[in-house]
Amino acid sequence: MKIFYTHRAAEELKSLPKEVQKRIVTKMRFYANQEDPLVFAKRLVDVREGQFRFRIGDYRVVFDVAKDSIYVLKIGKRSEIYE
């Protein structure tokens, strides 16, 4: 699968500390290379923000899936992402 970051998600990723950025990017590549990355995801109840989320440490990556692509919509700390 290919990974695409929205402008908002890219800005949120850039604002994080370098070690957290590296961890998130590495984990996203791992998920994208899996046959079914949704096995590692949780479906969100409120789909206005996105359909799924990955948990990467204290951070959440909210995304949608279309065909063979993951569209990252939001990245943030668990306590702040759903506000």
Q: Please count the structural domains in the chain.
A: 1
| 8-12, 16-20, 43-47, 64-68, range with the lowest pLDDT | 43-47
Across 53-75, average pLDDT: 94
Is the CB of residue 44 less than 8 Å from the CB of residue 50? yes
Q: Specify the CATH number for the domain of residue 43.
A: 3.30.2310.20
Q: How does pLDDT run across 50-62, given as a tens digit for each residue?
A: 899 999 999 999 9
Token pair, residue 34, equals 């899996």
Q: What pTM was computed for the model?
A: 0.90
Vertex 81 angle, CA 67 and 33, to 5°: 35
What pLDDT, on a 0 to 100 scale, did the predictor assign at position 41? 95
Among the listed residues 69, 67, 59, the one whose alpha carbon sits nearest the alpha carbon of residue 6: 69
Domain of residue 11 covers 2-81
